[in-house]
Amino acid sequence: MNVLLVGSGGREHALAWKLAQSPRLSALWTTPGNPGTGQVSNNVSIAVDDVSGLVGFAQSHAIDLAVIGPEAALEVGLADALSAAGIAVFGPTQAAARIETSKTFAKQFMQRHGIPTARFAVFDQPELAIEYLDCLDYPVVIKASGLAAGKGVIIPGNIEEAKIAVKNMLVGRAFGKAGEQIVIEERLQGEEISQLAFCDGYTLALMPAAQDHKRLLDDDRGPNTGGMGAYAPAPLCPPVLQAEILERIMQPAIDGLREEGMPFIGVLYAGVILTEQGIQVLEFNARFGDPETQAIIPLLKTDLLEIILACTRGELKHITLDWQDGSAVCVVMTSVNYPVKSALPTPIHGLDGLPPNCLAFHAGTSFSHGKILASGGRVLGVTGLAASLAKAADAAYEGVKQIYFEGSHYRKDIAHAALNRGCSKYKSAGVDIDAGNRAVEMISQSVKSTYNQRVLAGIGAFGGLFDAAGLLEMSAPVLVASTDGVGTKVMLAAGEQRYRGLGIDIVNHCINDILVQGAKPLFFLDYFAAPQLKPEILAEIVAGMAEACRSTGCVLLGGETAEMPGVYLPDEFDIAGTIVGVVEHSRILPRGNISAGDRLIGLRSSGFHTNGYSLLRKLFEGDDLKQPLGESSETLSDALLTPHRSYLDLIMPLLNSIESPVKGLIHITGGGFVENIPRILPINCGAIIQLGSWEIPPVFRLAQMRGQITDAEMYRVFNMGIGMMIVASERDVPKVQAAIPESTWVIGEIVEDNQHQVRLV
């Protein structure tokens, strides 16, 4: 495709850089462009407001698509003219762009469509504006209604300063035509975020929220500028807040413009402030932000040209946006005396020596006699990319240090507020509340995927609420609860970085524990403790819990995370959980009719399950766990870390049958055969286990040989390949085995024994 990009700033360089990566691109022209866009496209010297010149160029060069960057081009109706010439345009019409180009229109539009924004009034007569100010009892902001290059906002310190600002705008024409009409609005308090979204007139696709730095000097001092830096994603705007912004601000705006006959195609940008009363809109922009674009676009993995084409065709809903993990920080370097006046051109040094994770986007640059010059205003946007916000900021400032031009100025605190926001005394003691919040965000989808109509409150609440009304359908419901932990298997899994199976382990272990009493699970509560919370690890573990819960119809109701430095060693953690299930009183296991002569039917285990790992870790310490186990493709790591299986689906049909043959169930867990079988036997009974009646998996034999462990100890510590036993009368054995859709073995029987012992023969 032949693409025309309109604009000449850092925003346009970032867009050109990304568009040039598209395999669908045949040729890219940028007008008027800058030396940076010239490196990835063909620059054409046509002004952004030269509508006839741009349309003529587009027609003569067979342009398929035009992408409009600056607001000035939108204000003069460039999108309308290009569209009328049959060229696809990414950028709103002149009418739709009024959501940015006229603050009067924007405020009144928000009022019409119920979009939250500050109280305001519009004036074009200074006397009326001053009378209005005398009636107010809250601080205000004075805004020029038209475009003023990001500088048409005055924040007065008091009413007298506000009156001076009004006179400067309406009488002194401080902002020219842009200030012929002004908006006086309530000054809101709170953090600001920039939320941008791709739009096709109906559908919105949100970009990562960003934070801009408008003031010239560190600590948000000095005059407002077009922007001194930005970073994304903004930690202040987690997915739940983005969803609220989409629902209450962005979608109503797109729907409202369409309903008023101005469908919006392009990028809608909402400047949102987070107040104590909730989110409010400070302003809308009708295009990519600058410098937000220099922080957001480098994080985009999806082909930008494909996204833009989908927008122009009304097909955005068919596109999935993919974003890089990590963060981006853009630091703007300006010329001396910015934003008051421009400086004389001066050579820029160091652009060729930037670190590999750093980009320099040109804005106020020019090219003369083989040299790139700083030609005034905002000169460069230096963007650092890294896995964390802190490292991205370090990368950006490392790049800034490599660049020099006379009179250069930049803020030294871009993203610092976000980085320092969580640096409390508590965090210095080792507990990071922000990490905990991020962990909750990451696991919320996994947890909610297990919910059913009985969940009234789950993750994020002080306590989970589960509607027990369904139990009224039972004759005599009995709640069954069990708590357990994964144990030291977590250390082996951590060493192999295989975390998901641990979540499956704890849920299935607990399900089996209540299954032996005949109960089916209702809900599960998890507990995770570590010296330092690592949200990515927790998210993987909880994903495993959710998987196990979904497969058995159990709700993962939520639980507790605990960050406890000093209690656990670095990189250690613990996982535990509580399950609650229900059983009819008449079907509680074990039944009272277990007697000598009953048989023990063994069901295979999936491995060691969650027991004996203190010994196993010692036995295999120093081994390469990636080595194959025997002749199979299974590795030692696979064998040791296979998740604990659940027996619910295998056994519950038997338990639910009218004449259930199951007298009792035995979960072979901690204590192996020797300790677990007696837990359900009558006081005058013991058990005999017939060794050799089932095939013991090779990994158990390997462990026994490695540790020179006796049979007696092996059967007291491990499950030896049998994870669950069913107790049934001899005559019911065929019925039980026929109902289990996998191999089972009769491995022993109940015998009379006043010593209550288990004998291996």
- In degrees to the nearest 10, what's the CA dihedral of 664, 665, 671, 675? 10
Backbone phi, then psi, for 330, in 5-degree steps? -110, 125
- In the numeric block, the tokens 């007569």 are attached to 125
Question: Which of 18-32, 33-47, 303-317, 406-420 is the least confident region?
Answer: 406-420
* Sign for the pseudo-dihedral over CA of 240, 243, 248, 249: positive
Whether the predicted pLDDT of 290 surpasses 90: yes
Residues 552, 456 contacting (CB under 8 angstroms) = no
Helix pair 535-552, 433-448: axis angle to 10 deg: 20
Q: According to the model, what pLDDT value does residue 567 have?
A: 82
- What tokens does 344 get? 């004389």
* pLDDT per position as a tens digit, 339-374: 887 778 999 999 998 999 999 999 999 999 889 999
Whether the predicted pLDDT of 610 surpasses 80: yes
Report the mean per-residue pLDDT for the chain. Answer: 90
3-state SS record for 186-204: ECCCCEEEEEEEEEECCCE
Q: According to the model, what pLDDT value does residue 458 have?
A: 65
Alpha carbons 87 and 55: distance in angstroms, whole number: 9
pLDDT, average across residues 306-312: 97
Whether the predicted pLDDT of 424 surpasses 50: no
Using alpha carbons only, give the angle 73, 256, 269 rounded to the nearest 5 degrees. 45
* pLDDT per position as a tens digit, 79-131: 999 999 999 999 999 999 999 999 999 999 999 999 999 999 999 888 998 99
pLDDT, average across residues 254-267: 97
**Residue 335: how many other CB atoms lie within 10 Å:** 24
pLDDT, average across residues 307-311: 97
Q: According to the model, what pLDDT value does residue 425 have?
A: 41
Q: According to the model, what pLDDT value does residue 434 have?
A: 56
**Residue 25: how many other CB atoms lie within 10 Å:** 17
Whether the predicted pLDDT of 751 surpasses 70: yes
Whether the predicted pLDDT of 153 surpasses 60: yes
* pLDDT per position as a tens digit, 175-193: 878 778 889 999 998 889 9
Nearest of 77, 109, 283 to residue 185 by alpha carbon: 283
Whether the predicted pLDDT of 209 surpasses 90: yes
Please count the CA atoms within 13 angstroms of the CA of 356 that sit on its side-chain side: 0
* pLDDT per position as a tens digit, 645-667: 999 999 999 999 888 999 999 99
User: Is this prediction's pTM over 0.95?
Assistant: no
pLDDT > 90 in the chain, percent: 66
Question: Which of 34-38, 150-154, 388-392, 589-593 is the least confident region?
Answer: 150-154
- In the numeric block, the tokens 């079907």 are attached to 587
Backbone phi, then psi, for 264, in 5-degree steps? -100, 120
Q: How does residue 462 score in pLDDT terms, banded at 50, 70 and 90? A: low
Whether the predicted pLDDT of 429 surpasses 60: no
Nearest of 749, 715, 442 to residue 599 by alpha carbon: 749
Alpha carbons 602 and 747: distance in angstroms, whole number: 6
Question: Could you give the domains of the chain?
Answer: 2-90 (3.40.50.20), 98-318 (3.30.470.20), 327-421 (3.90.600.10), 433-587 (3.30.1330.10), 599-760 (3.90.650.10)
3-state SS record for 636-674: HHHHHHCCCCCCHHHHHHHHHCCCCCCCEEEECCCCHHH
For 524, the enclosing helix (H) or strand (E) is strand 520-530
Q: According to the model, what pLDDT value does residue 432 have?
A: 52
Q: How does residue 423 score in pLDDT terms, banded at 50, 70 and 90? A: very low
